[in-house]
Structure 1
Amino acid sequence: MAKTRTIYICSACGAESVQWFGKCEACQAYGTLEEQMVSTSNSPVGVARGGWQSNARTDYRPNVAPKPRISVSFNDITEEEQARFQSGYGELDRVLGGGVVPGSLVLIGGDPGIGKSTLLLQTANQLSQRLPRILYVSAEESGQQIKLRASRLGVAEASSVTESKTAENNGKNGNGKVAKKKEDDPDKANLFILPETDLEEILRELESLQPQVAIIDSIQTLYFAALTSAPGSVAQVRECTSALMQVAKRDNITLFIVGHVTKEGAIAGPRVLEHLVDTVLYFEGDRYASHRLLRSVKNRFGATHEIGIFEMAEHGLVEVENPSELFLGNRDEFVPGTATVVACEGTRPIVVELQALVSPTSYASPRRSTTGVEYSRLQQILAVLEKRVGIPLSKLDAYVASAGGLGVEEPAADLGVAIAVVASFRDRVVDPRTVLIGEVGLGGQVRLVAQMELRLKEAAKLGFKRAIVPKGQSFADDIGIEIVPVGKVIDAIIAAIPPQQKFGKDLEDLRDEEIEDENF
């Protein structure tokens, strides 16, 4: 008779322990060990190991040429272009690397209420107009709740066919009406809904329906009856994902899996969850703002760190065709302490406006605050400005923010942060038609950055006239924008913020001149 024993599994790394500890010995995380009951057998099974693990030693070597049994030579593998199909949303296709790969597993994580289910329901609606069978597995909502949300989003296809466990057994839906079949009404859309949490029922439906795309919302709410642990535990998430992966790879079904996140922002469950899937996407954004960012952190079929930008509108998510305009301020206003940079997210250049405010501190130590900019980078830039340029910032508060709250983490935005801080300190205006691109070194140098030509083309497309870039940067000559190469931060300050004596214009003069030009 099988016996049961208690083990403790780390929810962060999946390490097992026979005793509970406050800290995991493998990953050093606190409070992550969860109790699990496993069955053991009275008679252990001995495994005979062969090959290099065998204890037996022999000197016999057959005098024949070695040959593979089932492996193939690398040169015998033919190169076939991966066939992709469009999801109906260009931003999602961009993040996935050019489209949806058949048979792939895509994991989408994000904060509660950010719009994961909305995005996937709208994507399922678009895919149902191109593909014959799309299955939406809802483990958190009933069919009527999904229908209500679909009506609010304007998804008409959700009203076509509803597949549920009750309808399968009784031939009726939740309202007691007979569910319509696809064969009886071929003009209806091809979107099927399955409100179910049992993994075995979901696997049977996948094998029976054979959909081209299936959406699992969410993986933490599924359970496998053979395991005694609760849904969402390490064992349940690992086994459910592994079973879904086997069916998807065998039947060439594309799976979109929704994953919950922890309070730290990481996907809940074992780390093996992210290793099993082909693509990991994070749906980010301020829930009080309108725009949403879909970011790729792992992609076996495309580039990582690509982003897609959506805007939450009245009837769901809408693609943003020109994201640079979303993160640009009003370039017609002359405001001190602003600078424009060109950041690259994967292969996408985005023009972002940075704003800085420098003011006398009221405390013993000055305050530094950032929004969208890495805090340690700001500290480093302020130290370089004080040491190499001579600007006394040690007794001043410094606040830096990016327009729209976009996270600008790459070093190419250092020069824009430095110029914005200096412009706020001097109460000067940087030409709103100038972009600044470059990394600031500890010695006050302006270092080279990657993808410069791509950045300059994006700036020229948006109407910028001048770009301050590192000296020695290589790019094409016919970009259509004036290039100002600089080697040090002080040179960039002189080029971006001209002396007041030379031009004789302060903030009010610039505004008066603008009013006179409009009247003229």
Structure 2
Amino acid sequence: MEKKSSVFECQNCGYTSPKWLGRCPDCGGWNSLVEERRPRGQAPAGGGPAARPARLGDISTEAVPRIDTRNPEFNRTLGGGIVPGSLILLGGEPGVGKSTLLLEIARNLEGEGVRVLYASGEESMQQIRLRADRLGERAEGAPAAGAGEIYLLADSSLEGILAAVEEVRPGALVVDSVQTACSGSLESAPGSVGQVRHVAMTLLNLAKRTGIPVFLIGHVTKDGAIAGPKALEHIVDVVLYFEGEGRRNHRIVRAVKNRFGAANEVGIFEMTSRGLVPAANPSGLFLPDRELSAGSSVICAMEGTRPLLVEIQALVVATQYSTARRVADGVNYNRISVLVAMLEKRLGVQMTGSDIYVNTAGGLEVDEPAADLGLFAAILGSLRNRPLTPGTVLVGELSLSGDVRPVPQAPLRVREAAAMGFSRVLLPAGNLPLVDPVGGIGLVPIGTVAELAELIFP
């Protein structure tokens, strides 16, 4: 009988130990080490013929042609399309639409003449077919589900998936999900650190050897991180997070890692009865359809290389508690505390007896210093109960001294404001020489928070 060795592996970070430990010495997690049994001398995952070295100068530098997904928002997130041989991980909350999005991408690839193998360990083939029929109804003239080159496989076995790849010879592979896929060569349960790493490494080697792009769907933990070892995100080429709440009709795909394009790029989709469709006007999703009231302002935030206009809402009221409350939704809580301290120090406004609530319209997360000017103006406007002049966009970072610092990509932000019909932009004085007025939009330089307060609320 073949002898097997046992190691104890941390389910959070992948640390291994020859004996059980109550606390992982690497990540500090309690009761996270689980026994993994494997045959002695087992070959590493994805073993195959050894690669031959090549001189750097002999490597071709020609651009690798990307595969068009027929989805401009998804193409944008990936950096212009799918790179052949890439391993792409898509994670998100349950029910956010991960499987729906990738099934729709599979249908689009089918239209490009790409044969797709969709392997699911969570749904039967009949369930996937029903969803494909529902998505197919939205596009006139689209081929009926099953009429093209999409092959379905209801199997969570890694060996079964590899055998299907050899049989079908697809041009793209979707695995739903990496946590349910498992290999018979390991005795650990599906979703364990060893299984997830083994599956990911095997599929990575498959992608690099054959040039097939592989999509992995990943579950997330209650903290919002992708379940499994952190090594999973290091193994793959692209990590995408699918964000969105069930109460909102838009979804955001955010690239947090991309070896073939810009990180932090986003694609914005609308959830409709016909499935997920690219947003025709992304900034319009986060702007009000009315005039701004007291405590509201509009900023231009950069999401990757895309400028987005977002409404900031602030509410300042007298506190009913012994300690004033500070509530931030969609913006950094610590940044709100800094801006409130700046109001007290630079403008002499007492805020200790006021509760402050700050929110971004549409639920978009805004986490860049260029939003400071708009946040400051919204809080000040709610405090004084006075609205901003209609058609105004604010862009600028505030220093602790009260100065307005220049921000990157100012010309892009101004062009987006002009395209959305705004009449003036309040921006740092240091950015003014670098920006040309577009479409007659007015540019107003701001040097300090005192200048801002005097200009918008004289």
Q: TM-score, normalised by structure 1?
A: 0.83
Q: Residue 391 of structure 1: CA displacement?
A: 1.2
Q: Residue 134 of structure 1: CA displacement?
A: 1.0
Q: What is the match of residue 129 of structure 1? A: 111
Distance change (3 Å), C-alpha of 1:293 and 1:213: same
The answer to whether the 8 Å contact 1:106/1:279 transfers is yes
Task: Report whether the alignment pairs 1:382 with 2:340.
Answer: yes
* Aligned pairs (5 A) from 1:17-56: 17-40=17-40
Q: What is the match of residue 78 of structure 1? A: 60
Q: What is the match of residue 15 of structure 1? A: 15
Aligned length: 444
The answer to whether the 8 Å contact 1:158/1:191 transfers is no
Residue identity over aligned pairs, in percent, reads: 47
The answer to whether the 8 Å contact 2:12/2:228 transfers is yes
Q: What is the match of residue 166 of structure 2? A: 207
Distance change (3 Å), C-alpha of 1:247 and 1:151: same
Q: What is the match of residue 310 of structure 1? A: 269
Q: d(CA) in 2 for partners of 1:387 and 1:5? A: 65
Per-residue CA deviations over 1:144-179 (Å, capped at 9, x if unaligned) read: 11112222333675742xxxxxxxxxxxxxxxxxxx
Matched residue SS, 1:221: coil
Q: Residue 444 of structure 1: CA displacement?
A: 1.0
Deviates more, 1:408-417 or 1:208-217: 208-217
Distance change (3 Å), C-alpha of 1:489 and 1:149: same
Deviates more, 1:388-397 or 1:92-101: 388-397
* Aligned pairs (5 A) from 1:89-238: 89-154=71-136, 159-160=145-146, 188-238=147-197
Per-residue CA deviations over 1:54-105 (Å, capped at 9, x if unaligned) read: xxxxxxxxxxxxxxx9644433433201201210110000000011111111
Task: Report whether the alignment pairs 1:356 with 2:338.
Answer: no
Q: What is the match of residue 239 of structure 2? A: 280
Distance change (3 Å), C-alpha of 1:132 and 1:453: closer
One-letter amino acid matched to 1:88: R
Q: d(CA) in 2 for partners of 1:334 and 1:440? A: 23
Choose the corresponding residue for 2:435, options 473, 476, 479. Answer: 476
One-letter amino acid matched to 2:208: K
Matched residue SS, 2:148: coil
Q: d(CA) in 2 for partners of 1:326 and 1:31? A: 44
Matched residue SS, 2:298: strand
Per-residue CA deviations over 1:475-516 (Å, capped at 9, x if unaligned) read: 23242321111111111122222x2xxxxxxxxxxxxxxxxx
Q: d(CA) in 2 for partners of 1:200 and 1:129? A: 29
Per-residue CA deviations over 1:439-495 (Å, capped at 9, x if unaligned) read: 111111111111111101100111111111111114232423211111111111222
Q: What is the match of residue 324 of structure 1? A: 283
Q: d(CA) in 1 for partners of 2:143 and 2:56? A: 45
Q: Residue 189 of structure 1: CA displacement?
A: 1.0
Q: d(CA) in 1 for partners of 2:185 and 2:96? A: 33
Q: d(CA) in 2 for partners of 1:314 and 1:362? A: 44
The answer to whether the 8 Å contact 1:340/1:353 transfers is yes
Q: d(CA) in 2 for partners of 1:203 and 1:73? A: 32
The answer to whether the 8 Å contact 1:83/1:101 transfers is yes
Q: Residue 334 of structure 1: CA displacement?
A: 4.4
Per-residue CA deviations over 1:360-418 (Å, capped at 9, x if unaligned) read: 00000001111111111111111111111111111100000011010000010011000
Q: d(CA) in 2 for partners of 1:392 and 1:416? A: 20
Distance change (3 Å), C-alpha of 1:190 and 1:72: closer
Q: d(CA) in 2 for partners of 1:388 and 1:32? A: 49
Q: Residue 333 of structure 1: CA displacement?
A: 2.4
Q: Which has the larger radius of gyration?
A: 1
One-letter amino acid matched to 1:481: I
Q: Residue 40 of structure 1: CA displacement?
A: 3.4
Matched residue SS, 2:240: strand
Q: What is the match of residue 367 of structure 2? A: 409
Q: d(CA) in 1 for partners of 2:353 and 2:276? A: 45
One-letter amino acid matched to 2:106: A
One-letter amino acid matched to 1:30: W
Q: What is the match of residue 485 of structure 1? A: 445
Q: Residue 29 of structure 1: CA displacement?
A: 2.5
Q: What is the match of residue 170 of structure 1? A: none
Distance change (3 Å), C-alpha of 1:374 and 1:158: farther
Q: d(CA) in 2 for partners of 1:6 and 1:72? A: 39
Deviates more, 1:230-239 or 1:9-18: 9-18
Q: What is the match of residue 172 of structure 1? A: none
Task: Report whether the alignment pairs 1:299 with 2:281.
Answer: no
Choose the corresponding residue for 1:397, options 355, 358, 362. Answer: 355
Task: Report whether the alignment pairs 1:461 with 2:443.
Answer: no
Q: Residue 195 of structure 1: CA displacement?
A: 0.8
Q: What is the match of residue 297 of structure 2? A: 339
Unaligned runs of 5+ in 2: 43-50
Deviates more, 1:31-40 or 1:142-151: 31-40
One-letter amino acid matched to 2:111: Q
Distance change (3 Å), C-alpha of 1:270 and 1:355: same
